[in-house]
């Protein structure tokens, strides 16, 4: 077991392990970390705790110190410079006539690197663009192509549910989502109805799937015969979330009525006599 602290570099980003280096920190503290690319500022998401050695990616980098007022001022200066860098890069992209859409620019904390994020339909030859950017900013330049889901996560926005994007709020990783999930959750199979602003299937289909599977396991399906206080009935419609069933009595031609799944039972099956030996 090794003592580590968990650190995030973005609000909805992943947790990374670092050596506390003898420091005592609390959740929410801003700290300076020594990374391979230089110094970075992160936020403590979990204080000193122990993890299995096999869960650590070596080498385990160390925390340098807690952030100071000078560090916070530098961070704000970097954010202002990122806006300028993005504008300059957009002009150069247009000058080089590259089919790419810039999403964001990110300065490393120590200013030794500028990372530009972009989307594109295919591969882009941006070698000349990198040369021009390096000559302009006199620092190391990196360009990283991302997908439309990553773009939505970085920029944020309001989803069709009226809430901020899940990927921006709390989702750390993107997982595979299928149209089958929408079908099992009783949603429209029209792609425009189950797709997020990024154009991909909504992430909530995935993390809600486990709940729907549990509800489906305890809810009679359409066509099932159930025992109600009024007699045997056939299920004609199901609402998994509310648990309400629409059933129709088998021995009458009456109108279907609503009943909760907790108020029905499976029908009694006739007992079979065991064969005598």
How confident is the model over 207-254, as pLDDT tens digits?
Answer: 888 888 899 888 998 889 999 998 899 999 988 889 999 999 988 877
| In the block, residue with structure tokens 């391979």 | 36
Predicted confidence (pLDDT) at residue 14 exceeds the cutoff of 50: yes
Angle formed at CA 48 by CA 37 and CA 68, multiple of 5 degrees:
55
Could you give the residue ranges of the DSSP H alpha helices within 22-107?
69-96
Looking at the fold, whether 82 and 45 belong to one and the same domain comes out as: no
How confident is the model over 79-133, as pLDDT tens digits?
Answer: 999 999 999 999 999 999 999 999 999 998 888 899 999 999 888 899 999 999 9
Count of domains for the chain: 3
Q: What is the mean pLDDT of residues 60-79?
A: 91
Record the pTM.
0.71
**Residue 110 falls within a domain, yes or no?**
yes
Q: How confident is the model at residue 272 (pLDDT cuts 50, 70, 90)?
A: very low
Q: Alpha-carbon Rg of the chain, whole angstroms?
A: 28
Predicted confidence (pLDDT) at residue 177 exceeds the cutoff of 60: yes
Q: How confident is the model at residue 267 (pLDDT cuts 50, 70, 90)?
A: confident
Looking at the fold, whether 21 and 7 belong to one and the same domain comes out as: yes
What's residue 276's pLDDT? 45
Looking at the fold, whether 38 and 78 belong to one and the same domain comes out as: no
**Tokens coding 182:** 């929408």
Domain housing 31: 2-67
Predicted confidence (pLDDT) at residue 273 exceeds the cutoff of 80: no
Question: Per mean pLDDT, which range of 45-49, 97-101, 270-274 is the poorest?
Answer: 270-274
Looking at the fold, whether 93 and 122 belong to one and the same domain comes out as: yes
What's residue 12's pLDDT? 66
Q: What is the mean pLDDT of residues 271-277?
A: 46
Of the residues 146, 177, 202, which one is the last residue of a structural domain? 146
Looking at the fold, whether 142 and 77 belong to one and the same domain comes out as: yes
Q: How confident is the model at residue 270 (pLDDT cuts 50, 70, 90)?
A: very low
Residues of the chain with pLDDT > 90: what percent?
Answer: 38
> Dihedral angle at the C-alpha atoms of 240, 245, 250, 251, nearest 10 degrees?
170
Q: Are 65 and 30 in contact (CB under 8 A)?
A: no
Burial (CB count within 10 angstroms: exposed 0-12, middle 13-18, buried 19+), residue 20: middle
As a whole number of angstroms, the distance between CA 225 and CA 158 comes to 43
Predicted confidence (pLDDT) at residue 172 exceeds the cutoff of 80: no
Of the residues 146, 164, 186, which one is the last residue of a structural domain? 146
**Residue 133 falls within a domain, yes or no?**
yes
Q: What is the mean pLDDT of residues 60-86?
A: 91
Strands (E), 75-216: 101-107, 113-119, 140-145
The DSSP code for 261 is G
Looking at the fold, whether 84 and 124 belong to one and the same domain comes out as: yes
Looking at the fold, whether 135 and 111 belong to one and the same domain comes out as: yes
Looking at the fold, whether 124 and 84 belong to one and the same domain comes out as: yes
Q: Could you tell me the CA-to-CA distances from 253 to 222, 232, 234, 257 in Å, in that order? A: 18, 13, 12, 12
Of the residues 27, 52, 67, which one is the last residue of a structural domain? 67
Work out the mean pLDDT of the chain and round it to a whole number: 87
What's residue 268's pLDDT? 54
Q: Are strands 63-66 and 140-145 parallel, antiparallel or unpaired?
A: unpaired
**Residue 212 falls within a domain, yes or no?**
no
> Dihedral angle at the C-alpha atoms of 146, 152, 154, 157, nearest 10 degrees?
170
What's residue 277's pLDDT? 42
């Amino acid at each position: 077991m090794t003592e580590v602290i968990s650190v995030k570099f973005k609000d909805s980003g992943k947790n990374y392990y670092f050596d506390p280096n003898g420091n005592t920190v609390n959740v929410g503290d801003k700290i300076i970390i020594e990374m391979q690319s230089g110094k970075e500022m992160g936020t403590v998401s979990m204080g000193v705790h122990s993890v299995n050695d096999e869960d650590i990616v070596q080498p385990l980098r160390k925390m340098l110190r807690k952030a100071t007022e000078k560090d916070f001022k530098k961070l704000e200066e970097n954010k202002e410079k990122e806006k300028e860098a993005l504008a300059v890069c957009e002009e150069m992209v247009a000058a080089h006539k590259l089919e790419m859409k810039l999403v964001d620019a990110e300065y490393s904390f120590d200013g030794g690197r500028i990372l530009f994020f972009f989307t594109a339909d295919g591969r882009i030859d941006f070698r000349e663009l990198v040369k021009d950017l390096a000559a302009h900013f006199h620092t190391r330049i990196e360009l990283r192509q991302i997908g439309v889901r990553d773009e939505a996560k970085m920029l944020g926005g309001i989803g069709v549910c009226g809430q901020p994007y899940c990927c921006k709020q709390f989702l750390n990783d993107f997982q595979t989502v299928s149209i089958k999930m929408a079908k099992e959750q009783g949603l429209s199979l029209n792609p425009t109805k189950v797709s997020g602003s990024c154009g991909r299937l909504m992430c909530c289909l995935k993390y809600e799937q486990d709940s729907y599977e549990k509800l489906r396991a305890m809810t009679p399906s359409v066509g099932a015969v159930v025992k109600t206080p009024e007699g045997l009935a056939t299920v004609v419609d199901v609402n998994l979330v509310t648990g309400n069933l629409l059933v129709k009595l088998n021995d009458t031609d009456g109108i279907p009525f609503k009943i909760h799944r907790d108020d029905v039972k499976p029908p009694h099956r006739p007992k079979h006599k065991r064969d005598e030996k």
